[in-house]
Amino acid sequence: MKKYIFIVLAAIGFTACNNKTENTVAETNAEVATTNLAKAKAEIAPENLAETEFKIEGMTCQMGCANTIKSKLEAVTGVDKADVSFDQENAIVYYDKSVVTVDDLKNTVNNIADGKLYKVAE
């Protein structure tokens, strides 16, 4: 019986070590992606840096809604920074106008959750 308990514990130990290795690889990949994204954003030529602001309908909270919209906008290639305000119901986006358009940014917001949650006010 002791042998079986030892075997089970050893198997759990090996499995736990494998999961830690996978998590470490995933964390390393995430760090590399973040570093590459930061480098890409730093390379926007000053003459191509633009700013737009638009109203957003459908937000119900700062933590979930505004932060979700912010992260989706900042994931768009060519976006340097996005500030989303739940209180003011708007987004201010700084972007590379040679890479992305205002319509692209608005469509990004409109298409979150298959277009069921948020709408850019016209």
- Residues 35-47: what's their mean pLDDT? 67
**β-bridge partners, 91:** 54, 84
pLDDT at 62: 84
Higher pLDDT, 94 or 32: 94
DSSP secondary structure string, 35-93?
Answer: HHHHHHHHT--GGGEEEEEEEEE----IIIIIHHHHHHHHTSTTEEEEEEETTTTEEEE
Cα distance between residue 95 and residue 106, in whole Å: 13
Condensed to tens digits (0 to 9), the pLDDT of residues 55-99 reads 999 999 888 999 999 999 999 999 999 999 999 999 999 999 999
| Ramachandran class of 48: left when φ > 0, alpha when ψ lies in -120 to 50, beta otherwise | alpha
* Type of residue found at 71: S
The answer to whether the predicted template modeling score (pTM) of the entire model surpasses 0.85 is no
What CATH number has the domain spanning 45-120? Answer: 3.30.70.100
Question: Rounded to whole angstroms, how far apart are CA atoms 102 and 91?
Answer: 12
